[in-house]
C-alpha cells in the first residue's frame, strides 16, 4: 500500500527490495521477518509480470551457474522457459480437487485444497504458475472484463513452493473500499478488531494509471537455488 501510490507520481516502472513482517507466522516456509522484492509497471497487465518473473529467474540462475559457488541448480538457465507450466485455477481444481472455485465460493475449502492437493502436485514441476483466480479471491487485483467470474491474478511456484503473487492492479477506489469493508466484516465475525481504512491509499487509487504489480520472496528463491529445507537457514540471527 505504500508503493502502489507512487504510480501517481509519473513513475512508469519501479521496484523495491526490503524487509517485510508478518506477525505470528513461523514454519519451514514462514518467518516473521523476510525479504521481499516488489515491482510495478504502469500501462501493463499481469501477463507482462509473468514474463518478468521468468526473465528474472533466468537471469538469477545464469548468475549462479556462472559463479564459483557450489550450487547445483534444479533447472538450467537455458531450459527455464521450456520448463514453465502454466495452469488456470479452474483447470487444476477440477482435475485435482474435483470442484470448481470459479463457480462455487468456499474460501475454507479452497485454501485447504490448495495446500493439501494442488501445491503438492505442483512440486513435480520446477517452475509453475497458477492464474485466473476466482473473482472472490481478487484481493487488490482487477476483475477480468471478458469473464467477471475471474480476476487477473497469478502466483508463481518453484517446486510447489509459492514464490510470487502478482496482479493487474485494481485502480478504482470505490470497489477497493467495498473489498476492505468485506474483509473487516470477516475479521469481526472471527472476533478480531477491524482494520483501519487506509484513506490515503484509497484516495490515490483513482489517480493511478492501469498498472500491474508483483511481490516475490527473496529468501524462498534462495531456498530453491540452495536446496535448503527451512527459510530460517537463510536469515542471519540477530542479538539485541
Q: What is the pLDDT of residue 237?
A: 62
Q: What is the pLDDT of residue 240?
A: 40
DSSP 11: -
Q: Which three cell numbers stand for residue 58?
A: 533466468
Rounded Cα distance, 14 and 4, in Å: 10
Angle between helices 218-226 and 46-65 (to 10 degrees): 40
Q: What is the pLDDT of residue 239?
A: 44
Q: What is the pLDDT of residue 78?
A: 86
Low pLDDT (below 50) residues in the chain = 238-240
Sorted by sequence, the CB contacts under 8 Å of residue 37 that are 6+ apart come out as: 15, 16, 17, 215, 216, 217, 218
Q: Which three cell numbers stand for residue 97?
A: 480437487
Going by C-alpha positions, the residue among 193, 216, 215 that lies closest to residue 140 is 215
- Tell me: the pLDDT tens digits for 196-216? 999 999 999 999 999 999 999
Contact status, residue 93 vs residue 131, Cβ threshold 8 Å: no
Rg (CA), the chain: 18
- Tell me: the pLDDT tens digits for 4-27? 999 999 899 999 999 988 877 667
* Domains of the chain and any CATH numbers: 4-171+208-233 (3.30.930.10)
Q: What is the pLDDT of residue 63?
A: 93
Q: What is the pLDDT of residue 236?
A: 67
Q: What is the pLDDT of residue 232?
A: 77
Question: Model pTM?
Answer: 0.91
Q: What is the pLDDT of residue 112?
A: 97
Rounded Cα distance, 43 and 86, in Å: 23
Amino acid at each position: 500500500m505504500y508503493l502502489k501510490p507512487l504510480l501517481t507520481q509519473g513513475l512508469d516502472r519501479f521496484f523495491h527490495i526490503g524487509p517485510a513482517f508478518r506477525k505470528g507466522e513461523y514454519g519451514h516456509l514462514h518467518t516473521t521477518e523476510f525479504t521481499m522484492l516488489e515491482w510495478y509497471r504502469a500501462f501493463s497487465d499481469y501477463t507482462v509480470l509473468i514474463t518478468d518473473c521468468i526473465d528474472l529467474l533466468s537471469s538469477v540462475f545464469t548468475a549462479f551457474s556462472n559463479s564459483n559457488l557450489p550450487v547445483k541448480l534444479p533447472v538450467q538457465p537455458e531450459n527455464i522457459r521450456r520448463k514453465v507450466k502454466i495452469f488456470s485455477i479452474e483447470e487444476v481444481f477440477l482435475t485435482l480437487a474435483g470442484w470448481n472455485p470459479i463457480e462455487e465460493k468456499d474460501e475454507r475449502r479452497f485454501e485447504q485444497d490448495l495446500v493439501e492437493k494442488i501445491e503438492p502436485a505442483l512440486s513435480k514441476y520446477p517452475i509453475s504458475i497458477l492464474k485466473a483466480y476466482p473473482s472472490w479471491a481478487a484481493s487488490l487485483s482487477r476483475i477480468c472484463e471478458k469473464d467477471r467470474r475471474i480476476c487477473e491474478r497469478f502466483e508463481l511456484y518453484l517446486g510447489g513452493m509459492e514464490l510470487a503473487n502478482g496482479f493487474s492492479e485494481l485502480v478504482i477506489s470505490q470497489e477497493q473500499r467495498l473489498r476492505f469493508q468485506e474483509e473487516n466484516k470477516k475479521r469481526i465475525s472471527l472476533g478480531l478488531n477491524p482494520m483501519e481504512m487506509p484513506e490515503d491509499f484509497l484516495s490515490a487509487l483513482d489517480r493511478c494509471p492501469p498498472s500491474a504489480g508483483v511481490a516475490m520472496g527473496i529468501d524462498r528463491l534462495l531456498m530453491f537455488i540452495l536446496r535448503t529445507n527451512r527459510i530460517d537457514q537463510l536469515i542471519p540471527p540477530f542479538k539485541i
